[in-house]
Structure 1
């Protein structure tokens, strides 16, 4: 269950961040509410996951997968370009997340 909460936290963080990009030109109420609700939900789910999982692992996975997800969503939704260097950097982040998650340091105690 904590891994599902972490996955939900990541999904909400990606949604909030991508929506934040959409508010760059004008602060419309609905997108702003999506951003606030997304980050609030993300932090709430992450806090719940931290009841069982180690903070270093949770944060590494949340930030790493979130970074990759936002970069991919930005490319798909906003036509943002990812050059080879950016793709390699994202791949290294994902590799680091995989190594961290498989390190055995995933639960309290």
Structure 2
């Protein structure tokens, strides 16, 4: 259950980052409120998960989901530049997060 919380928290982190971009320096009200709500939910879920999980591994998974999800959606829907090097770097992040989990972060 705790890992599910981390995954959902990571997805909310992606939404938070996208709202931050769309907020245009917090001048657009709806994305600005979305940023605050998604940030609160993301950190809250991560906090709940940390009651039973190792902080280093759980945080790395949360950040990895946020980083990979935000970068991927940035490239797919926000017009961010796509390159083989960026995609390769995202694959390395995924490999690192999986490696941390396999190393016993429970």
Farther off after superposition, 46-55 or 1-10: 1-10
Q: Provide TM-score, normalisation by structure 1.
A: 0.91
Which runs of no fewer than 5 residues in structure 1 stay unpaired? none
Q: Provide TM-score, normalisation by structure 2.
A: 0.93
Which runs of no fewer than 5 residues in structure 2 stay unpaired? none
Once superposed, what is the RMSD of the aligned Cα atoms? 1.3
Whole-Å separation in 2 of the counterparts to 1:21 and 1:5:
25
Q: Which runs of 4+ in 1 moved over 6 A?
A: none
Whole-Å separation in 2 of the counterparts to 1:22 and 1:40:
18
Count of residue pairs brought into register by the alignment: 106
Helix, strand or coil at the partner of 2:46: helix
Whole-Å separation in 2 of the counterparts to 1:60 and 1:80:
24
